[in-house]
Structure 1
Amino acid sequence: MSQSSAARLTITIRIADQSLELTDAAGAPLARYPVSTALNGTGEKNGSGCTPLGRHYIRARIGSGQPIHTVYRGRRPTGEIYSASLAHEHPGRDWILSRILWLCGKESGRNRGGDVDTFRRFIYIHGTPDSEPMGEPRSHGCIRMRNTDVMDLFERVDVGTPVIIE
């Protein structure tokens, strides 16, 4: 996807109904997905475990060409493919799977810079185990999606795509 294509699309994440909507330049919906945002609610403070609000953009796309259920640590594939047996071996691990869309805030003092920087907080849109519920807040701050959904979204957007979290 080209940089100009990304500018014509917008991602809107609605905390209240735990959804992510992709729209075109005219605001027409192209896709809608269930998500799971932070168990701790909304907030921008580093260490809060909250999902940040406001205007953001996709700063990095990670995972192109990797198989579905690829496991990431530190934004790098571990070589593992998520499975129930792997989950059993690592209880309590916060699984980041399939694809990562790393977000960056656009509003100085709200979600960019200092102790409220979305990018430095490592806030992503990413895949999660399919056994995890969608439609209810359960993440550590990121926006979790079904693996097939995050892979679909990943192919539609590019670096620079606006993301609004409301």
Structure 2
Amino acid sequence: MKLRVSIERQTLMLFNDAGRLLRRYPVSTAALGAGEVRGSYQTPRGRHIVRAKIGAGVPAGAVFKARRWTGEICTAEAYAAQPERDWILSRILWLSGCEVGRNRLGQVDTMRRYIYLHGTPDQIELGRPSSHGCVRMRNSDIIELFDLVPCGTEVEIVEHEPV
């Protein structure tokens, strides 16, 4: 299995080991574009792996803070009361960079930046950049993806699709 996130197309694609496209999901990457530096609130590019999977068995819409379920479920009312909150819901696939100096170690370390693939409230529009650096997905999509990919799965984040 391999994942590719296209910042340009705001999609995440799941491929099997033979390179066949299995799934395509709409996503939302960073509102501030692509970039690797800590504190930039940008989505890091390059080769990554899924380092950790967090949230197995929690309900859809479960709210995470510091990678722990708070016991809350995000409802339409909860979202309406705090629309500015950076909601991390349902499941977390925590990414780790593979390219030293680009997205691993020092000021460009994806894992130390806490960059995830994660669920987001249903009210948030996907298909356009709006996150704080992570890759946001529909709750049903991240739950499906979580169950399909193991830790160690390759994740390539590209700014522009190859022609």
Amino acid paired to 1:143: V
- What are the superposed Cα offsets for residues 99-136 of structure 1, whole Å, 9 maximum, x if unpaired? 00000000000000000000000000000001101110
Which residue of the partner structure matches residue 158 of structure 1? 150
Task: Name the CA distance, whole Å, in 2 between partners of 1:163 and 1:86.
Answer: 32
1:57, distance to aligned residue in structure 2 (A): 0.1
How is 1:99-138 mapped onto 2 (pairs within 5 angstroms)? 99-138=91-130
TM-score by length of 2: 0.95
Runs (4+) of structure 1 exceeding 4 A deviation are none
Q: CA RMSD in A?
A: 0.7
Which residue of the partner structure matches residue 161 of structure 2? none
Which residue of the partner structure matches residue 75 of structure 1? 67
Task: Name the CA distance, whole Å, in 2 between partners of 1:92 and 1:53.
Answer: 25
Task: Name the CA distance, whole Å, in 1 between partners of 2:23 and 2:82.
Answer: 33
Amino acid paired to 1:151: I
Equivalent of residue 38 in structure 2, options 42, 46, 56 = 46
TM-score by length of 1: 0.93
Task: Name the CA distance, whole Å, in 1 between partners of 2:87 and 2:47.
Answer: 26
Unaligned residue ranges in structure 1 (runs of 5+): 1-8
- What are the superposed Cα offsets for residues 48-97 of structure 1, whole Å, 9 maximum, x if unpaired? 00000000000000000001000000000000000122223334210000
Secondary structure at 2:48's aligned position in 1? Answer: strand
Tell me if the contact between 2:118 and 2:134 (Cα under 8 Å) persists in the aligned partners.
yes
Tell me if the contact between 2:79 and 2:121 (Cα under 8 Å) persists in the aligned partners.
no
Alignment pair present for 1:15 and 2:7: yes
Task: Name the CA distance, whole Å, in 1 between partners of 2:97 and 2:63.
Answer: 25
**Which range moved further: 24-33 or 90-99?**
90-99
Equivalent of residue 148 in structure 1, options 130, 140, 143 = 140
Corresponding residue pairs, total: 158
What percentage of aligned pairs have identical amino acids?
55
Task: Name the CA distance, whole Å, in 1 between partners of 2:114 and 2:148.
Answer: 22
Secondary structure at 1:137's aligned position in 2? Answer: coil
